[in-house]
């Protein structure tokens, strides 16, 4: 109770809104999403973990979802906020389809819409605690972009969120090139995901790879990466001890 | 069309199922000076006749750029056209901001049509007075703008008295109330309609992913897509010309399309010399944002086919001219015949 009372003065600057709920910290979070452009479209990878603080609590969380006919959205951060974003986009796509006029929202439009949503929420001090990756193909044009919880957005040939920015992107900068084949793209993504699995404590060894092309979205079944632990230092850990 | 007892109000149906005010609004379009539009697969051209009131004045602006990829030509009450252009520009810019993508023409046109249709239904809300929750109210006649009246009323604890007409919806009313700091409203719906239909026809020309489009928006709230069309006074002559040639438009080059537009405008002038000072041409196309051609360019194009016409057999010219006039007369007669015919209302095309 005392803890609660000490919080009150800080929030009261906001006036009558201080009693309403707003996101202060994330609770159930997903870790990195990594994506790259390849010959036929976009490849995206994310593991299926939902961490509750430092506990790897949920292991079957789908963090990538198709949006409309032309886009694929991957999210890291608060899972409940991701679900709310999916609900906004559902409504957006529904109204788009209701026009029934042959026009449809492509990945660029969805990306900009999400940027507006994220930025507006940030301005109200009630952010959607997510970093989003939006990829898609429309009329032969490939598109890959990202939006953060504060509304920072940009497009690139390869993007990642969270730890992926630090561990995966350097690999992609070295090894990505135009017109990767599907197999090369998957191999490159798996290389990035493996590094993340070794080094990111909130990663779980159960991932999905999603592909989006002009023909549509395919999300693979969950699978695990092979890892290697037979280092001599691990076999005989006490060797160097005094 | 003759006056009848069902035509005072836009919200009154006639026994034959017609809304006369809307049909009268469409007459206003026919009185405006001509505007034409035609399209190919990749370009759309708009043209209009500019009649200035006198040699001293400038002419009315009838072609508006709505966005880089959309433009509109109007015929009828140009003031209404200006207001609608502002609305269209607003819609385009809002869409661009949210989606960073140009608004598809078909959607803009539907929004315009919905706007026209709603106006035919609106009942005005006459706000009689505003008071705060604790005090009593006085109905009065509601029109107390004068300061002494206000003073008198505030003695009784009223906040303010105001009349807000032209309100479109309850949400708009709430906005007005909040912005002026009123606490409580009491309002009475009148049975009188305060708003009239827009008296302007719009030729919307635009380009989007699915290609080049030309739409015509009526005051009735209907819209149609066209390969080529003409509206306004003496537009029948232009329509006849366009009907003869429209099958070739899809594959026309941009320059041929512009020539056809200028020729169609010449048809509506019916004998007057065609000069670049009395017509305006605008183009939008692939790789070409919407813009109005400057007078010099237009005059050059006019000059090219005036010289070509001179080289043609002069004997054919008078025949062609009389033929067109006859067709034009038949056209206008058909228009009048159609409107007195009780069976088909003009807007039910």
Please give the C-alpha separations between residue A35 and each of A83, A148, A152, A161, in angstroms, as whole numbers: 20, 15, 17, 9
Please give the C-alpha separations between residue B336 and each of A52, B29, B67, in angstroms, as whole numbers: 77, 14, 37
Domains in chain B: boundaries: 22-121+192-293, 123-185
Chain B contact set for A106 (CB, 8 A):
101
Report yes or no on A232 lying in a domain.
no
ipTM of model: 0.85
Report yes or no on A38 lying in a domain.
yes
| CA dist., res. A171 & res. A36, Å (int) | 12
Report yes or no on A14 lying in a domain.
no
Tens of pLDDT along A73-124? 999 999 999 999 999 999 999 999 999 888 999 999 999 999 999 999 999 9
Rounded to 5°, the CA angle B330-B332-B338 comes to: 100
Please give the C-alpha separations between residue A87 and each of A69, A90, A92, A150, B117, in angstroms, as whole numbers: 16, 5, 9, 20, 31
**What's the pLDDT at B332?**
39
Q: Which of B9, B65, B56 is nearest to B280 (CA)?
A: B65
Q: Tell how far CA B259 is from the center of its chain.
A: 25
Please give the C-alpha separations between residue A142 and each of A39, B96, B217, B337, in angstroms, as whole numbers: 9, 20, 36, 56
| CA dist., res. B20 & res. A188, Å (int) | 70
Counted domains in chain A: 1
pLDDT tens, per residue, chain B with 349 residues = 678 888 888 888 899 998 888 899 999 999 999 999 999 999 999 999 988 878 888 888 899 999 999 999 999 999 999 999 999 999 999 999 999 999 999 999 999 998 888 766 553 333 333 333 333 333 333 333 344 444 444 443 333 333 333 333 444 444 444 444 433 333 333 334 567 889 999 999 999 988 999 999 999 999 999 999 999 999 999 999 999 999 999 999 999 999 999 999 998 988 888 888 889 999 999 999 999 999 999 999 999 877 766 665 454 444 444 434 433 333 333 344 333 444 445 554 3
Phi, psi of A150 (to 5 degrees): -100, 5
Q: Is A29 a catalytic residue?
A: no
CATH of B22-121+192-293, one of 3.40.50.1440, 3.30.70.260, 3.30.70.360, 3.60.20.10: 3.60.20.10
A128: its two tokens:
């959607």
| CA dist., res. A187 & res. B214, Å (int) | 49
What is the domain extent for residue A202?
A: 28-225
| CA dist., res. B338 & res. B23, Å (int) | 12
Chain B contact set for A101 (CB, 8 A):
104, 106-107, 110
| CA dist., res. B111 & res. B9, Å (int) | 24
SS3 state of residue B52:
coil
Question: Which residues does B contribute to its contact with A (CB < 8 Å)?
Answer: 97-101, 104, 106-107, 110, 208-210
Q: Report helix angle B254-269 to B235-245, nearest 10.
A: 140
Question: Chain A closest CA to B102's CA: distance in Å?
Answer: 10
B48-87 per-residue burial string, b: 16 or more CB within 10 A, e: under 16: bbeeeeeeeeebbebbbbbbbbbbbbbbbbbebbbebbee
Tens of pLDDT along A130-149? 999 999 999 999 999 999 99
Report yes or no on A233 lying in a domain.
no
Please give the C-alpha separations between residue B127 and each of B79, B94, B135, B161, in angstroms, as whole numbers: 27, 31, 18, 9
Chain B contact set for A109 (CB, 8 A):
99-101
CB of A71 closer than 8 Å to CB of A210: no
Report yes or no on A81 lying in a domain.
yes
> In chain B, which residue ranges form alpha helices assigned H by DSSP?
20-31, 78-99, 105-119, 147-155, 170-179, 235-245, 254-269, 295-311, 316-340
Report yes or no on A45 lying in a domain.
yes
Kindly write down the DSSP assignment for every residue of B260-301, as one continuous string. Answer: HHHHHHHHHHTTSPP-TTSEEEEEEETTEEEEEPPHHHHHHH
Question: Which residues does A contribute to its contact with B (CB < 8 Å)?
Answer: 99, 101-103, 105-106, 108-109, 112-113, 116, 139
CB of A127 closer than 8 Å to CB of A150: yes
Q: What is the CATH number of the domain that holds A94?
A: 3.60.20.10
| CA dist., res. B201 & res. B231, Å (int) | 7
């Amino acid at each position: 109770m005392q803890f609660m009372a000490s919080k009150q003065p800080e929030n009261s600057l906001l006036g009558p809104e201080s009693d309403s709920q707003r996101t202060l910290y994330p609770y159930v979070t997903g870790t990195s999403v990594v994506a790259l452009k390849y010959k036929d479209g976009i490849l995206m990878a994310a593991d299926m973990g939902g961490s509750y603080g430092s506990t790897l609590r949920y292991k079957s969380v789908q963090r990538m979802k198709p949006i409309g006919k032309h886009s694929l959205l991957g999210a890291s951060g608060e899972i409940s906020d991701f679900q709310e974003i999916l609900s906004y986009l559902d409504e957006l796509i529904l109204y788009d389809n209701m026009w029934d006029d042959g026009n449809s929202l492509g990945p660029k439009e969805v990306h900009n819409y999400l940027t507006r949503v994220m930025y507006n929420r940030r301005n109200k001090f009630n952010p959607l605690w997510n970093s989003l990756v939006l990829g898609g193909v429309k009329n032969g044009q490939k598109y890959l972009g990202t939006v953060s919880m504060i509304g920072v957005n940009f497009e690139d040939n390869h993007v990642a969120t969270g730890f992926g920015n630090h561990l995966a992107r350097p690999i992609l900068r070295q090894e990505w090139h135009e017109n990767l084949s599907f197999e090369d793209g998957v191999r490159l993504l798996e290389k990035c995901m493996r590094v993340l699995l070794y080094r990111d404590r909130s990663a779980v060894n159960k991932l999905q790879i999603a592909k989006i092309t002009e023909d549509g979205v395919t999300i693979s079944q969950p699978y695990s990466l092979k890892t290697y632990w037979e280092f001599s230092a691990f076999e005989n850990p006490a060797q160097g001890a005094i | 069309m003759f006056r009848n007892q069902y035509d005072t109000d836009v919200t009154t149906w006639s026994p034959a199922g017609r809304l006369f005010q809307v049909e009268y609004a469409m007459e206003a379009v026919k009185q405006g000076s001509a505007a034409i539009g035609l399209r190919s697969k990749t370009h759309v051209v708009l043209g209009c006749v500019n009649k200035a009131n006198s040699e001293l004045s400038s002419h009315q602006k009838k072609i508006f750029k709505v966005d880089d990829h959309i433009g509109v030509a109007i015929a009828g009450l140009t003031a209404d056209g200006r207001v609608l252009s502002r609305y269209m520009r607003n819609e385009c810019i809002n869409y661009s901001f949210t989606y960073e993508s140009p608004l598809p023409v078909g959607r803009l046109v539907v929004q315009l049509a919905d706007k026209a249709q709603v106006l035919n239904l609106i009942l005005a809300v006459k706000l009689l007075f505003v008071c705060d929750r604790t005090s009593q109210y006085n109905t009065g006649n509601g029109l107390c703008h004068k300061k002494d009246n206000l003073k008198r009323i505030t003695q009784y604890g009223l906040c303010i008295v105001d009349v807000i007409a032209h309100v479109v919806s309850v949400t708009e009313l709430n906005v007005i109330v909040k912005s002026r700091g009123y606490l409580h409203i009491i309002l009475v719906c009148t049975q009188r309609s305060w708003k009239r239909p827009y008296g302007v026809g719009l030729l919307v020309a635009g380009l989007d992913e699915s290609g080049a489009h030309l739409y015509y928006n009526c005051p009735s709230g209907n819209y149609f897509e066209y390969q080529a069309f003409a509206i306004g006074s003496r537009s029948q002559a232009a329509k006849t010309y366009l009907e003869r040639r429209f099958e070739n438009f899809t594959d026309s080059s941009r320059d041929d399309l512009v020539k056809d537009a200028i020729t169609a405008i010449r048809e509506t002038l019916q004998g007057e010399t065609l000069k670049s000072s009395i017509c305006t041409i605008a183009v939008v196309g692939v790789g070409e944002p919407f813009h109005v051609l400057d007078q010099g360019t237009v005059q050059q194009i006019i000059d090219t086919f005036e010289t070509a016409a001179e080289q043609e057999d002069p004997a054919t010219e008078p025949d062609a001219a009389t033929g067109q006039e006859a067709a034009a007369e038949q056209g206008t007669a058909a228009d009048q015949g159609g409107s007195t015919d009780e069976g088909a209302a003009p807007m039910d095309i």
